[in-house]
Amino acid sequence: MTEMNKQWILVRRPEGAVKRSDMELRESPVRPLEAGETLVKMLYLAMDPATRGWMAPGGGYTEPLPLGGPVMGVTIGRVVESRNPQMKPGTVVAGVGHWAKYMIAGERQISPVRCGNLGVLSPMDTSHGFDLPMYLHAMGTSGGTGWYGLMEVAGMKAGDKVLVSGAAGSVGSLVTQMARLKGAAKVVGIAGGPAKCAEAVRDYGCDVCIDYKATDDIAAAIAKEFPDGIDVYFDNVGGEILDAAMGNLAKWARIAVCGMISQYNALEAPPGPRNMWNLLVKTARIEGFLVSDYFGTPACEAAYREIGDWIRDGRMVAKVDVRDDFDNVPDVFNQLFSGGNDGRLVVKVPD
Amino acid sequence: MTEMNKQWILVRRPEGAVKRSDMELRESPVRPLEAGETLVKMLYLAMDPATRGWMAPGGGYTEPLPLGGPVMGVTIGRVVESRNPQMKPGTVVAGVGHWAKYMIAGERQISPVRCGNLGVLSPMDTSHGFDLPMYLHAMGTSGGTGWYGLMEVAGMKAGDKVLVSGAAGSVGSLVTQMARLKGAAKVVGIAGGPAKCAEAVRDYGCDVCIDYKATDDIAAAIAKEFPDGIDVYFDNVGGEILDAAMGNLAKWARIAVCGMISQYNALEAPPGPRNMWNLLVKTARIEGFLVSDYFGTPACEAAYREIGDWIRDGRMVAKVDVRDDFDNVPDVFNQLFSGGNDGRLVVKVPD
């Protein structure tokens, strides 16, 4: 078969927010497969802040994306042709793939099936029976990230008072609900704007949501909600809000650093938290984590069983915002940072 | 008995370094004991950076020292008179006590014997047979702090590459040796000045010592010693050196925050580390701790058995710098920050 491919190629490393001119949409025929290769038709692309990090010259947690190559992110695709004996046409795969209609995956870009989606494409367990985009959200990296960070990294226990930033975002909206379902004594979200804050309380189980855009003194707002301090802070944003949270810790507090969305587009590293001293005073812990470290573990299987049950029983709300707008991916991507999405932002790749 | 007491009274909260005028040496007769009280003759006062924190208006890990009351620190004393049935004259006690010749301890300021010295005076286990000042150093809070931070908080394992700041200081000089004795693959110290650095290598088991006073780019100096990153950083200083260490972490690095001596005298909180992002990239952990949380635990007993053996066998060097200079305690105290001491700085209280 000779199909035309359309690929988003990284042509320039972004400075600040991603610009349209940092990428080019290129068409070219799909070349024939060589031995060991697999042709994957991409189906869904998750818009993930991590991709912004991968575009940077270095300092991310993977090698930077090469200039002149396709942009990559967490994706779902379907094998359409295979010269890899391990991969059969029709198999649905998930993992780090191209922002493109088609991707040719070499042997090393395909891994055996395992829980979670690692840095390569692997056959996906769709036995829970959800629509495919859900496997990019609660049943995929967002859910796994939230569960792992809250339960394993922060070690949340029933009775803990929990703060979650990015509380209306893809990971945050699941974490607030997990905290509630796991018996948190209080769940406070932080989000930007009245609509997102209302959603965090109405749909995502927050007792209270602090609208940071309408708050002059975020530290005071946090202190008001946590007069005895925060036990667990699930940090999606870094920067000033992390600092404010660090100023309001309870003894033995745990901070799980999931993301630092405030820093992805920053041109230089901002000053760090002034409240480091509090780590000592409160014998507190800050720990960064990457969901990939948890893939393939028994805890991963347990997490998706539990999350799957919560969603099926209607106890967890997991919104997916699917856009049929492949030709405008850079603009869709930037909505992550401007807050234009409602739930996990996913781009459907045209047939 | 009526003895004259001499007490160092806190009369002003210091701004920046402690000044002579922030304290007054007052003489007054020791009042008669009331029921439940114990009269303790103070023998040795450990000069501890923590005391500087306790003098501040708030934000320390204990209530601030009251103005008009005696300055306090970690001390050793001997019971000379008792109206507390639990306490017998002659008993040696250690814990938080007054910078004074005598101290009257109420029932709540005396605790049952337990491993380590808590926030109150408790009878001390002197069965290891060292001179008393050693119980303010390797066999006391310095040793316990180092062991707890390195082994329990940072979870150091054989083969780890370890960085220790304040490497010629009372805690740091013990930590570098513990790391070596526990099988670290590399031990790098940071200290101020060639004499201290030479000492860290000669006496305290460092492979290399970085003299931060002679180094323009501390991050580059650390990077040179740890091309594959730091596994464990035992932080005694905070500030810029913490930031530089955070920029040079290995995957799964652990930072134990023991002290932030760079910040004790700061008039305002300095900017925090710019390298917070690295926590995520390296899935690293920073954790603050207080040695008091570890007192009375089985690990505490084990630590002092091990430390005691190391000292007796000559495998650990534990220097105590005893000064017979009670009338000049504020000046002696400030040497902690200017680096004028050689080993754990202890003031002997006159008879």
- Tens of pLDDT along B49-67? 888 888 887 655 567 888 9
Please, which residues have CB within 8 angstroms of residue B136's CB and are 6 or more apart in sequence?
B44, B46, B74, B75, B76, B94, B142, B320, B344, B346
Query: According to the model, what pLDDT value does residue B1 have?
Result: 56
Hey, is B88 helix, strand or coil? coil
The sign of the dihedral angle between the CA atoms of B228, B233, B239, B241 is negative
The sign of the dihedral angle between the CA atoms of A252, A253, A259, A264 is negative
Q: Which residues partner with A39 through β-bridges?
A: A81, A104
Closest partner CB to A277 (pick from B260, B271, B286): B260
Q: Do A281 and B59 touch (CB under 8 A)?
A: yes
Q: Do A280 and B61 touch (CB under 8 A)?
A: yes
Domains located in chain A, CATH noted: 4-137+319-348 (3.90.180.10), 141-292 (3.40.50.720)
List CB contacts (< 8 A) between B272 and chain A. Answer: 243, 271-276
Residue from B52, B145, B276 to probe the interface with A (highest A Cβ count within 10 Å)? B276
Is residue A264 very low, low, confident or very high in pLDDT (cuts 50, 70, 90)? Answer: low
Query: According to the model, what pLDDT value does residue A86 have?
Result: 86
Here the ipTM equals 0.74
Question: Which chain B residue lies closest to A236 (C-alpha atoms)?
Answer: B280
Question: Which chain B residue lies closest to A235 (C-alpha atoms)?
Answer: B280
Question: Which chain B residue lies closest to A54 (C-alpha atoms)?
Answer: B281
List CB contacts (< 8 A) between B269 and chain A. Answer: 274-275, 277
Question: Which chain A residue lies closest to B243 (C-alpha atoms)?
Answer: A272
Q: Do A288 and B269 touch (CB under 8 A)?
A: no
List CB contacts (< 8 A) between B293 and chain A. Answer: 283
Closest partner CB to B257 (pick from A257, A279, A287): A279
Query: According to the model, what pLDDT value does residue A266 have?
Result: 54
Query: According to the model, what pLDDT value does residue B173 have?
Result: 96
How far are the Cα atoms of A93, A276, B287 from residue B258, in angstroms, in the given order? 47, 12, 9
Query: According to the model, what pLDDT value does residue A61 have?
Result: 58
**Tokens, residue A61:** 């947690």
> What average pLDDT score do residues A271-278 get?
75
Task: List pLDDT tens digits, range A102-136.
Answer: 999 988 877 766 677 655 677 877 778 899 999 99
Residue B225 has pLDDT above 90, yes or no: yes
A92-96, A202-206, B117-121: segment of lowest average pLDDT: B117-121
Question: Which chain B residue lies closest to A280 (C-alpha atoms)?
Answer: B288
User: How far is B149 from chain A, CA to nearest CA, in Å?
Assistant: 11
The answer to whether B310 and B285 have CB atoms below 8 angstroms apart is no
> What average pLDDT score do residues B225-249 get?
94
Closest partner CB to A272 (pick from B60, B272, B289): B272
Query: According to the model, what pLDDT value does residue A210 have?
Result: 98
Q: Do A276 and B272 touch (CB under 8 A)?
A: yes
Query: According to the model, what pLDDT value does residue B195 have?
Result: 93
Q: Do A288 and B279 touch (CB under 8 A)?
A: yes
The answer to whether B255 and B287 have CB atoms below 8 angstroms apart is yes
Cα gap A112→A121, rounded to integer Å: 9
> What average pLDDT score do residues A292-316 get?
90
Task: List pLDDT tens digits, range B10-19.
Answer: 999 998 889 9
Is residue A285 very low, low, confident or very high in pLDDT (cuts 50, 70, 90)? Answer: very high
Cα gap A214→A194, rounded to integer Å: 8
Q: Do B281 and A59 touch (CB under 8 A)?
A: yes
Residue among B341, B323, B333 nearest B19 (CA): B333
Closest partner CB to A61 (pick from B59, B269, B280): B280
Q: Do B283 and A260 touch (CB under 8 A)?
A: no
Q: Share the mean pLDDT of chain B.
A: 90
B166-170, B174-178, B249-253, B261-265: segment of lowest average pLDDT: B261-265
> What average pLDDT score do residues A268-285 get?
77
Query: According to the model, what pLDDT value does residue A95 have?
Result: 87
> What average pLDDT score do residues A21-38 get?
95
Which of B83-92, B211-220, B289-298 holds the top average pLDDT? B211-220
Q: Do A277 and B285 touch (CB under 8 A)?
A: no
A231 or B271, which is more confident? A231
H or E element that contains B198: helix B194-202
Cα gap B247→B252, rounded to integer Å: 13
User: How far is A238 from chain B, CA to nearest CA, in Å?
Assistant: 8
Task: List pLDDT tens digits, range B95-114.
Answer: 889 999 999 998 887 776 66
> What average pLDDT score do residues A78-82 get?
95
Query: According to the model, what pLDDT value does residue A178 have?
Result: 98
A266-275, A328-337, B173-182, B305-314: segment of lowest average pLDDT: A266-275
Cα gap B75→B133, rounded to integer Å: 9
Task: List pLDDT tens digits, range A306-317.
Answer: 999 999 999 999
Residue from A276, A282, A290, A291 to probe the interface with B (highest B Cβ count within 10 Å)? A276
B71 or A17, which is more confident? B71
Beta strand pairing status for A208-211 and A186-191?
parallel
Q: Do A273 and B273 touch (CB under 8 A)?
A: yes
Give residue ranges of A with CB < 8 Å to any B CB. 59-61, 238, 242-243, 257-260, 263, 269-290, 293
Residue from B240, B261, B267, B280 to probe the interface with A (highest A Cβ count within 10 Å)? B280
Is residue A90 very low, low, confident or very high in pLDDT (cuts 50, 70, 90)? Answer: very high
Question: Which chain B residue lies closest to A61 (C-alpha atoms)?
Answer: B281
Question: Which chain B residue lies closest to A239 (C-alpha atoms)?
Answer: B276
Residue B120 has pLDDT above 70, yes or no: no
Q: Share the mean pLDDT of chain A.
A: 90
Query: According to the model, what pLDDT value does residue A291 have?
Result: 83
Query: According to the model, what pLDDT value does residue A114 have?
Result: 67
> What average pLDDT score do residues B120-138 get?
84
Residue from B255, B264, B277, B289 to probe the interface with A (highest A Cβ count within 10 Å)? B277
Question: Which chain B residue lies closest to A240 (C-alpha atoms)?
Answer: B272
Q: What angle do CA A41, A308, A113 make, to 5 degrees?
A: 45
Closest partner CB to A280 (pick from B257, B271, B277): B257
> What average pLDDT score do residues B271-293 get?
83
User: How far is B214 from chain A, CA to nearest CA, in Å?
Assistant: 25
Residue among A22, A32, A27 nearest A5 (CA): A27
Residue A208 has pLDDT above 90, yes or no: yes
Cα gap A336→B193, rounded to integer Å: 49
Phi-psi region of B158 (alpha: psi -120 to 50; beta: other; left: phi over 0): beta
- Calculate helix-pair angle for A298-312, A172-181, nearest 10 degrees: 90
Closest partner CB to B283 (pick from A277, A279, A293): A293
Q: Do B276 and A257 touch (CB under 8 A)?
A: yes
> Taking the C-alpha atoms of B312, B314, B320 and B322 in order, what is their torsion angle to the nearest 10 degrees?
70
Chain A to chain B Cβ contacts (< 8 Å): 106
